[in-house]
Structure formats: structure tokens, C-alpha cells
């Protein structure tokens, strides 16, 4: 039988272990320029950041919008906590490691700019958003207003409520490459009727990286007495903003994309006054009606996953979100500038920094996106993902902080060959 002394000594050893990644990042911060635009081009600095990851550099991963690898410091914490939990899960995981979630909750709340009692730790954006989409009481005939560029799981969720509860999903069509953010507000305004009871808006479109003017959409909803749910899956930790910049009451996001936290982590934000309005996706007690933790009632789960979010937050904060966003835009311009004037190349993303950041949708005339994706992987070892809807199609390109300029240049050259010589 394992003794209490064993548990205590193991816990001390766990806490004492320190990956040197954060020390190195801290030293790097002393060498780079404080101006994010200048730091974005400091390859010595970003070379140091790249060394914080365990990667196979033989394959270039440009689908970080799906999920991103975590830096080693996050992987190490995750691994150690899983190993520690398995010494005696019912004691170690539930009684020693699970309470650490409160520290993670406080840090996420500080990063997002809200009260810790307004943050639930979830497994992804889908779980976060479904808590609200299923949890709000909506009368038969109520309309939920969203767009044709919303995430498929959100659409499936609303379609199930249509079948089960008799509500109606209304989808408006946003312009693919708007010239002015106001165009994106206008489509919601035109879609509102007296039956509209909820608006769902993606802060960043998963299709082409378009940044929606969320604050203006939320203000529009407030004027009409309509709550707004924000899908922040592709926004949080990609570029700088806080909750009050958005003026939203409901927000859901994944943390395994731009925060680079462990796979299967996310959070749900609901303003404290509105928590009682939302039923939890899994059963919770009457006493939890106004408690944000009711959305975490999912049964037994590993504590390690949500606890390792803390290391991801530290890594993110040390780099700085302004510096990250500037780097993303610098890398994007490095490859788009090389091919933007080629006749067959088409961008379905507005490259203006007001409209997009790390996600870009690009296509080449006469080449199917799936064929282009397969060719890039087979011939150039570059992995992207395909997008195909009635309104836009292409390959979605999403580098991250560990991406190198050599990888960016290789991609640009491969796209130039495809656009000028074909892939046959």
C-alpha cells in the first residue's frame, strides 16, 4: 500500500521539477525589441521560440488552425501529472490535482478580462458553445440568426434543436472578402426579425480567417434585446483583445489552437448575471444554478489536461500576444507577397490586418483544392487543409510561432510552381 508520505514526497518532486523552456524564453525576451512589428522580424528570437517545441521538421505543419502542438513545457507537465495521477487516481487526481483547476480558472479569467466566476473549463469550443445553444430556453418558432460561414458542429447543433424543439435557424451570407467591417454587421441587421431570440457569430471564420466586428454585432443584439453567442475558437490567443472589447455575454473557445494548450481544452464564458438562464449540457443540481462550475459536470476526467493550461498561458504571456499577432502577419505577408500578382492565384481572405491575422484561404485556378493539398504534401512535405463550401474554396494556410521563414519560403515557391507550371 502506498503511504501518505509517498504521496507527499511525490507531490513535492512534481512541483520541484522545472523544464528550462520558460527560462530560455525569459532570456530571449531580454534580447528582442519591445516593438512587436520589429520583433516580428527578429529571426534569432523566433529561432529560440522554435526550439521550445518537439517537432518533425521533415513535414511542415500549416494546419495549426485545426490544432497546434504544445511546447515541451506543456507536454512535460501533462505527462508528469498523468503519471502522478496513476499512482492512485482517486486520491491523487481528485484530491490533490483537481483543485488546481481553480488557479487555471483565475488565470484564464485575467487573460480574458472577466471574473473567475464567469469561466468554465471545457474540452473544446464545441462543448462550450453547445452548452449555450442547447442550454438556453427557446420557444417553438424562435429564430437563431447565424451565417453560412459558421462552424459545421454549431450548425448541426441548431439543426437538432430544429428537429427536437421546433426552433428555426436563419443563415445569412457574409461577403467572402468584405471591404469594410460594417458589411458584416449589416448582414446580421438585415436578418433580424421579431422572432430572433439569439445571434451566433464567429469572431474569426474557420473558413478564411475573416475577423468579424463582434463588438458591433453584440451592440446590435443589445439594441434589439437579443443575446449574442460568440464562437471564439479561432480567435483567443491569436491576436490581442479582452472580453470588454467584445461586449459579449456568452463566449466559447478552444485552447489547443493558438494558446497551444493540451488537446481537448477550452473555456466557456458567461456573464455572472446570465449563468442561471443556461441549463448545463450534463446534469447539475439546483444549488448550482448560478455557478459557472455546473458546466464542468462531465464525470470523471483527467486533471492533467486542464492543469497544463497554466503552462501554456505562461508561455503565451512571455511571448506576448501583440508580438504573436505581428509575427503571424509578417509570416503571412512573406509568402502572399511572392504570389499575389500571379494570374491564377486567388485569395478568399482580405489580407488587410483589420480583417485577418493567422488564417488565409488561397486557391489556384484550374487546380482542385484537394489535388493541390495532396501535391503539396506528397511533393513538398507541406501539410495544409482544404476548405470547400458553396461560397468559397481553397487550401487554408495557418503557420504558428514555431514556423520558420525557410518553411514559409518553401511554401511560397511550391505555390509559385503550381500556379505557373501546374502540378501534373
Domain co-membership, 58 together with 29: yes
Q: What percent of the chain has pLDDT over 70?
A: 96
Please report, for the domain that includes residue 141, its CATH number: 3.40.640.10
| 361 and 222 both lie in a single domain | no
Instruction: Tell me: pLDDT of 14 over 90.
Output: no
Please say if the pLDDT value at position 142 is more than 90: yes
Q: How confident is the model at residue 23 (pLDDT cuts 50, 70, 90)?
A: confident
DSSP β-ladder status, 382-383 and 60-61 = parallel
* Domain-ending residue, one of 316, 336, 364: 316
Asked if 361 contacts 119 with a C-beta cutoff of 8 angstroms, the reply is no
> At 7, is the pLDDT very low, low, confident or very high (cuts 50, 70, 90)?
very low
Residues 172 and 137 in one domain: yes
From 316, 343, 361, the end of a domain falls on 316
Q: Residue 49: which CATH number?
A: 3.90.1150.10
Same domain (yes/no): 55, 134 = no
Cα–Cα distance list, 369 to 223, 363, 374, 395 (Å): 41, 7, 9, 6
d(CA 177, CA 159): 27
Alpha-carbon distance 159 to 140, whole Å? 13
What per-residue confidence (pLDDT) applies to 202? 98
Task: Judge if 113 and 207 occupy the same domain.
Answer: yes
Boundary (domain end) residue, out of 281, 316, 351: 316
Whether 13 is in a domain gets the answer no
Asked if residue 169 has pLDDT above 80, the reply is yes
Separation CA 106–CA 104 (nearest Å): 5
Range(s) of the domain holding residue 29: 20-69+321-421
pLDDT above 60 for 119: yes
Which has the closest alpha carbon to 389: 152, 186, 191? 152
Give yes or no: residues 300 and 327 share one domain: no
pLDDT digits (tens, 9 = 90+) for 262-318: 999 999 999 999 999 999 999 999 999 999 999 999 999 999 999 999 999 999 999
Do the beta carbons of residue 119 and residue 255 sit within 8 Å? no
In a shared domain, residues 276 and 260: yes
Burial class (CB in 10 A: 0-12, 13-18, 19+), 334: middle
Ramachandran angles phi, psi of 243, nearest 5°: -55, -45
Q: Does residue 138 form part of some domain?
A: yes
Half-sphere exposure of 200 (CA within 13 A, CB side): 32
Mean pLDDT of 121-132: 98
Same domain, residue pair 305 and 392: no
If asked whether residues 40 and 156 sit together in one domain, one would say no
Number of domains in the chain: 2
pLDDT confidence of residue 19: 58
Amino acid at each position: 500500500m502506498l503511504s501518505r508520505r509517498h504521496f507527499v514526497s511525490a507531490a513535492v518532486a512534481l512541483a520541484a521539477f522545472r523544464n528550462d523552456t520558460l527560462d530560455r524564453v525569459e532570456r530571449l525576451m531580454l534580447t528582442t525589441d519591445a516593438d512587436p512589428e520589429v520583433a516580428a522580424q527578429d529571426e534569432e528570437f523566433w529561432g529560440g521560440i522554435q526550439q521550445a517545441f518537439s517537432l518533425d521538421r521533415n513535414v511542415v505543419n500549416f494546419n495549426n488552425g485545426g490544432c497546434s502542438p504544445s511546447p515541451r513545457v506543456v507536454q512535460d507537465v501533462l505527462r508528469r501529472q498523468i503519471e502522478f495521477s496513476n499512482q492512485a487516481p482517486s486520491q491523487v487526481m481528485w484530491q490533490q490535482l483537481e483543485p488546481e483547476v481553480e488557479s487555471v480558472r483565475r488565470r484564464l479569467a485575467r487573460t480574458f478580462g472577466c471574473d473567475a466566476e464567469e469561466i468554465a473549463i471545457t474540452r473544446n469550443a464545441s462543448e462550450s458553445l453547445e452548452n449555450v445553444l442547447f442550454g438556453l430556453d427557446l420557444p417553438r418558432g424562435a429564430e437563431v440568426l447565424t451565417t453560412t460561414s459558421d462552424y459545421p458542429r454549431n450548425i448541426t447543433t441548431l439543426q437538432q434543436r430544429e428537429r427536437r424543439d421546433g426552433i428555426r435557424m436563419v443563415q445569412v451570407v457574409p461577403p467572402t472578402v468584405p471591404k469594410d467591417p460594417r458589411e458584416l454587421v449589416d448582414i446580421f441587421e438585415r436578418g433580424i426579425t421579431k422572432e430572433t431570440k439569439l445571434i451566433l457569430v464567429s469572431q474569426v471564420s474557420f473558413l478564411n480567417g475573416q475577423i468579424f466586428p463582434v463588438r458591433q454585432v453584440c451592440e446590435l443584439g443589445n439594441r434589439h434585446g437579443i443575446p449574442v453567442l460568440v464562437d471564439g475558437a479561432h480567435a483567443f490567443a491569436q491576436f490581442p483583445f479582452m472580453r470588454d472589447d467584445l461586449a459579449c455575454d456568452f463566449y466559447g473557445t478552444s485552447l489547443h489552437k493558438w494558446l497551444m494548450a493540451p488537446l481537448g481544452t477550452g473555456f466557456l464564458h458567461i456573464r455572472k448575471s446570465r449563468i442561471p438562464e443556461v441549463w448545463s449540457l450534463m446534469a447539475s443540481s439546483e444549488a448550482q444554478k448560478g455557478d459557472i462550475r455546473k458546466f464542468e459536470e462531465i464525470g470523471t476526467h483527467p486533471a492533467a489536461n486542464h492543469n497544463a493550461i497554466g503552462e501554456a498561458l505562461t508561455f503565451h504571456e512571455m511571448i506576448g500576444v501583440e508580438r504573436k499577432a505581428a509575427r503571424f502577419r509578417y509570416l503571412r505577408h512573406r509568402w502572399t507577397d511572392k504570389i499575389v500578382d500571379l494570374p491564377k492565384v486567388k485569395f478568399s481572405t482580405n489580407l488587410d490586418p483589420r480583417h485577418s491575422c493567422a488564417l488565409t484561404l488561397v486557391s489556384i485556378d484550374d487546380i482542385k483544392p484537394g489535388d493541390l493539398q495532396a501535391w503539396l504534401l506528397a511533393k513538398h512535405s507541406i501539410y495544409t487543409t482544404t476548405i470547400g463550401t458553396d461560397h468559397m474554396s481553397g487550401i487554408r494556410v495557418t503557420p504558428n510561432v514555431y514556423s520558420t521563414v525557410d518553411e514559409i519560403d518553401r511554401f511560397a515557391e511550391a505555390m509559385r510552381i503550381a500556379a505557373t507550371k501546374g502540378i501534373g
